[in-house]
Amino acid sequence: MIEIKNLHKSYKMGSNSLHVLKGINFSVEEGELVAIMGSSGSGKSTLLNILGMLDVLDEGSYTLDGVPIKNLNETKAAQYRNKFLGFVFQSFNLINYKSAMENVALPLYYQKVGRKERQEKALKYLEQVGLREWADHLPSELSGGQKQRVAIARAMAAEPKVLLADEPTGALDSTTSYEVMDLIQKINDAGNTILIVTHEPDIADMCKRIVHLKDGVIVEDKKITQIRASQYV
Ligand code: ATP
Ligand code: MG
């Protein structure tokens, strides 16, 4: 599903350059649930943004579902991003003046799905995250955990091949974090490939594999016996 070879990334700031990723080799099979860990500044978000085609690599190669992602023009990149990838962020990134349902329907609007089908699909995905009754509510009327579940429903509505989540539980207390992880595990059980950036070991233990970044390289990559979040919910 994902294959990265000898990936390098630097940020240029004036005459200085910060070499953040220094030769990453990494592949992910369909159906995996991977945690990316590492200290603050180790390059986790940089890696996730490159995987998510929100940023470009300097050197190396990236293949996503058989497609080499390099030197794509902005239109093609946007097409692949919409087709392959769903995003979830620490700060939810919901649109405040739109209802939960309208937020979930948004990617379908960009896919040019008709209004009625958009609504039906949005309700279906809200149902899956347990928020069917909250469809008409604004984000400001929802708790943090509910907001993140709406954000997950929105990401899933586009039916992405890969779900990328940067600190999805970073703004939540531990009980709510486990609720969100329970949902992520269920989505993964249904066959979706998911990558999560987290600095919380408890959250990483709920994934199937943990990758550790340090000084711009992967220093550890291990399969783990997954802990079910539902035990804690
Ligand atoms: P955190 O756990 O704090 O979120 P992270 O592992 O996600 O950290 P990154 O955001 O990938 O770290 O940042 C890696 C390094 O690159 C940091 O030193 C950061 O300051 C730098 N950096 C990140 N984005 C940019 C940018 N757009 N321009 C310049 N430097 C950047
Ligand atoms: Mg980060």
199 lines ligand 1 (CB under 6 A): yes
Kindly state the tokens that stand for 130: 């347990």
**How many CB atoms lie under 10 A from the CB of residue 223?**
11
| 64: its two tokens | 């996503």
Taking residues 183-212, what's their average pLDDT?
Answer: 95
* pLDDT (mean) for 124-152: 95
Report the alpha-carbon distance of residue 43 to residue 217 in Å, rounded: 9
Distance 2 CA to ligand 1 centre (A): 22
Q: What is the pTM of this model?
A: 0.94
Give the CA dihedral 112, 118, 122, 125, nearest 10 degrees.
Answer: -70
Rounded Cα gap, residues 62 and 64, in angstroms: 7
Q: Identify the pLDDT of residue 153.
A: 95
**Span from the CA of 41 to the centroid of ligand 1 (angstroms):** 5
Average per-residue pLDDT for the chain: 94
- Distance between Cα 42 and ligand 1 center (Å): 7
Q: Would the pLDDT of 158 be above 90?
A: no
CA 68, CA 91: separation in Å to the nearest integer? Answer: 30
Q: Could you tell me the pLDDT band of residue 165, with boundaries at 50, 70 and 90?
A: very high
**Max alpha carbon distance in the chain (Å)?**
54
- With a 6 Å cutoff on the Cβ, whether 22 touches ligand 1 is no
In this structure, the residue with its CA closest to atom 21 of ligand 1 is: 41
Nearest CA, atom 4, ligand 1? 40
The CA distance from 220 to 136, in Å, is 45
pLDDT at 219: 97
Given ligand 1 and candidates 12, 24, 44, which is best to mutate, with the most ligand atoms within 8 Å of its CB? 44
In tens, the pLDDT along 31-56 reads 999 999 999 999 999 999 999 999 99
Nearest ligand by distance to the CA of 17:
1
Residue 171 CA to ligand 2 centre (angstroms): 13
Kindly state the tokens that stand for 14. Answer: 């004036």
The reported pLDDT for the residue numbered 74 is 85
Would you put residue 6 in left (φ > 0), alpha (ψ -120 to 50) or beta? left
Q: In angstroms, what is the span from residue 213 Cα to ligand 2's centroid?
A: 12
Domains in the chain: ranges and CATH: 2-95+160-231 (3.40.50.300)
Percentage of the residues of the chain whose pLDDT score is greater than 70: 100
